[in-house]
């Protein structure tokens, strides 16, 4: 059964029924495609409440045979993520075309990350999919309101843009959770150097590839120690935004995050700009998202999302699997989120066209290129910059890891430090390498 036939399959009791004898080549790319096509009607909202943060939509595929095997797909806080996509100027049709294309599969790649997670790129390389631990997903959902509010307050933040949260449950296997995010290194064609920088040196060396190698290698802090980000006029903005973002993460009590850095040489034609290009940059920088009508104006207030389904055998839903993790808190909006969205969240008009709040929202002039929120043109180079991997909480496990790393490296200059210390060192290290 191909993908088009799958979309036309009959639905019974909320399940898509697959005829007996049909073979499905299940892989991450297939499962995500099915889920996104099923849930593509979920819309963004102008007003969000606490229920949107914990809402789960689940759909099932059923094999119509004696075993009646079920494959279930869940989407978490789908309205919130749809709103995030709107905030960072991602059209829904473009998102689905990239991440759920009918004829293209995902590209799996090997990362030098020690997390052990799986990584996939959409066929056009605009989006990255990464599997995550259940504890990370549950924590992320608990801070999702704060995360969204940070984008509202600072539209040009360097935090990686998470644009979807999903899970898939295969027969006889544990549910697998994953996040969809924008690829910071897009477009990748001319990127020459890549770094993953945490602001520490212990255990932070990556052997460079030999000359002439076509492999993509992400280097680390020891490789970066003698480098400079030659930003020029945007240097002050970059220092301030790194500080704002890192302090935000500090207040969420997380650590071990990184600044991804990509670097490519600017062509001579890119070093100067015409008047029309400058005008385009100003307009784009003031209007990173399109105006969205009030929900009542487009019928969204009458939209009904399907309820979360419960597994008949275990009596649990995808959200229950997150809630029932031992030793961790239940998903709930943080106190900061409650303050922001109590009574509903309304996005300020400045996101669409206001110039008065340009400075208070710490905006900058964005380049005329795709992925502009993560691109800064310096004196000679174009830089791709984004903060990633900020889902590690400072816990007893991390405190134990801190002691172990001190013994292993005979140094305190490692990546496992309390959030306040980590943030200060991160800001200092990056600032010292900005010119």
CATH number at residue 67: 3.30.800.10
pLDDT band for 411, please (50, 70, 90 cuts).
Answer: confident
Q: What is the mean pLDDT of the chain?
A: 76
**Which of the residue ranges 68-82, 208-222, 300-314 has the most confident prediction, judged by mean pLDDT?**
208-222
The number of distinct structural domains making up the chain is: 2
Q: Is 389 part of any domain?
A: yes
Q: Is the domain of 60 the same as that of 126?
A: yes
Q: Is 15 part of any domain?
A: no
The confidence score (pLDDT) of residue 231 equals 95
Q: Is the domain of 387 the same as that of 260?
A: yes
Cα 46 to Cα 48: distance, rounded to the nearest angstrom: 7
Q: Is 230 part of any domain?
A: yes
Residue 202: count other Cβ atoms within 10 Å of its Cβ.
18
The confidence score (pLDDT) of residue 369 equals 87
Q: Is the domain of 95 the same as that of 213?
A: no
Q: Is 175 part of any domain?
A: yes
Domain boundary residue, one of 138, 153, 183: 183
Q: Is 351 part of any domain?
A: no
CATH number at residue 259: 3.30.810.10
Q: Of 96, 118, 110, give the one whose Cα is nearest residue 178.
A: 118
Q: Is the domain of 179 the same as that of 233?
A: no
The confidence score (pLDDT) of residue 45 equals 73
Q: Is the domain of 108 the same as that of 243?
A: no
> Which distant-in-sequence residues (6+ apart) come within 8 Å of 138 by Cβ?
322, 323, 325, 328, 331
The confidence score (pLDDT) of residue 113 equals 59
**Cis previous bond, 99, omega within 30:** no
pLDDT band for 216, please (50, 70, 90 cuts).
Answer: confident
Q: Is the domain of 86 the same as that of 168?
A: yes
Domain boundary residue, one of 183, 211, 239: 183
Residue 118: count other Cβ atoms within 10 Å of its Cβ.
16
Q: Is the domain of 233 the same as that of 112?
A: no
Residue 21 clears pLDDT 60, i.e. is over it: no
Q: Is the domain of 69 the same as that of 191?
A: no
The confidence score (pLDDT) of residue 168 equals 85
Q: Is the domain of 127 the same as that of 226?
A: no
Determine what percent of the chain is predicted with pLDDT higher than 90. Answer: 38
What global pTM score does this model have? 0.78
Tell me: the pLDDT tens digits for 324-374? 432 223 334 444 433 333 334 444 444 444 566 677 788 898 888 889 999
Domain boundary residue, one of 153, 183, 213: 183
Q: Is the domain of 178 the same as that of 189?
A: no
The confidence score (pLDDT) of residue 306 equals 33
Q: Is 356 part of any domain?
A: no
The confidence score (pLDDT) of residue 42 equals 60
Q: Is 9 part of any domain?
A: no
Give the range of the structural domain holding residue 239, as residue numbers without chain letter: 184-286+366-434
> Which distant-in-sequence residues (6+ apart) come within 8 Å of 382 by Cβ?
190, 263, 264, 265, 266, 270, 367, 375, 376
Q: Is the domain of 148 the same as that of 249?
A: no
Tell me: the pLDDT tens digits for 104-126? 666 766 665 566 678 888 889 99
Q: Is 410 part of any domain?
A: yes
pLDDT band for 316, please (50, 70, 90 cuts).
Answer: low
The confidence score (pLDDT) of residue 118 equals 85
Q: Is the domain of 71 the same as that of 218?
A: no
> Which distant-in-sequence residues (6+ apart) come within 8 Å of 363 by Cβ?
155, 156, 285, 286
């Amino acid at each position: 059964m191909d993908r088009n036939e799958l979309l036309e399959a009959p639905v019974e009791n909320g399940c898509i029924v697959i005829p007996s004898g049909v073979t499905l080549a299940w892989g991450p790319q297939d499962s995500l495609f099915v889920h996104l096509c099923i849930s593509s009607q979920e819309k963004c909202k102008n007003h969000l409440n606490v229920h949107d943060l914990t809402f789960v939509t689940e759909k099932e595929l059923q094999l119509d045979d004696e075993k009646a095997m079920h494959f279930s797909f869940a989407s978490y806080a789908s309205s919130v993520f749809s709103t995030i996509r709107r905030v960072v100027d991602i059209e829904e049709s473009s998102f689905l075309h990239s991440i759920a294309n009918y004829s293209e599969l995902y590209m799996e790649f090997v990362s030098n990350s020690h997390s052990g997670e799986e990584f996939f790129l959409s066929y056009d390389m605009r989006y990255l999919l990464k599997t995550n631990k259940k504890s990370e997903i549950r924590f992320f959902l608990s801070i999702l309101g704060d995360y969204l509010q940070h984008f509202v307050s600072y539209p040009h933040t360097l935090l990686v843009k998470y644009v979807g949260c999903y899970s898939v449950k295969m027969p006889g296997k544990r549910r697998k959770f994953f996040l969809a995010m924008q690829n910071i290194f897009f477009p990748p064609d001319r990127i020459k150097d890549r770094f993953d920088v945490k602001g520490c040196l212990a255990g932070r060396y990556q052997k460079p590839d030999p000359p002439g190698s076509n492999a993509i290698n992400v280097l680390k802090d020891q490789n970066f120690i003698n480098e400079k980000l030659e930003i020029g006029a945007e240097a002050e903005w970059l220092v301030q935004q790194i500080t704002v973002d890192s302090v935000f993460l500090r207040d969420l009590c997380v650590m071990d995050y990184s600044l991804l850095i990509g670097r490519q040489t600017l062509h001579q034609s890119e070093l100067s700009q015409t008047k029309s290009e400058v005008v385009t940059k100003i307009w784009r920088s003031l209007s990173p998202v399109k105006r969205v009508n009030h929900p009542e104006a487009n019928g969204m207030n009458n939209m009904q999302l399907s309820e979360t389904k419960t597994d008949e055998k275990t009596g649990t839903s995808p959200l229950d699997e997150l809630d029932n993790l031992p030793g961790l808190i239940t998903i709930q909006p943080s106190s900061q989120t409650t303050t922001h969205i109590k009574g509903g969240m309304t996005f300020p008009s400045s996101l669409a066209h206001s110039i008065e709040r340009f400075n208070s929202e710490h905006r900058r002039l964005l380049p005329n290129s795709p992925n502009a929120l993560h691109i800064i043109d310096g004196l000679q180079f174009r830089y791709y910059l984004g903060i990633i991997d900020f889902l590690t909480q400072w816990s007893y496990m991390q405190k134990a890891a801190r002691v172990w790393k001190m013994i292993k490296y005979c140094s305190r200059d490692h990546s496992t430090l309390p959030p306040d210390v980590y943030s200060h060192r991160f800001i200092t290290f990056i600032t010292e390498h900005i010119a």
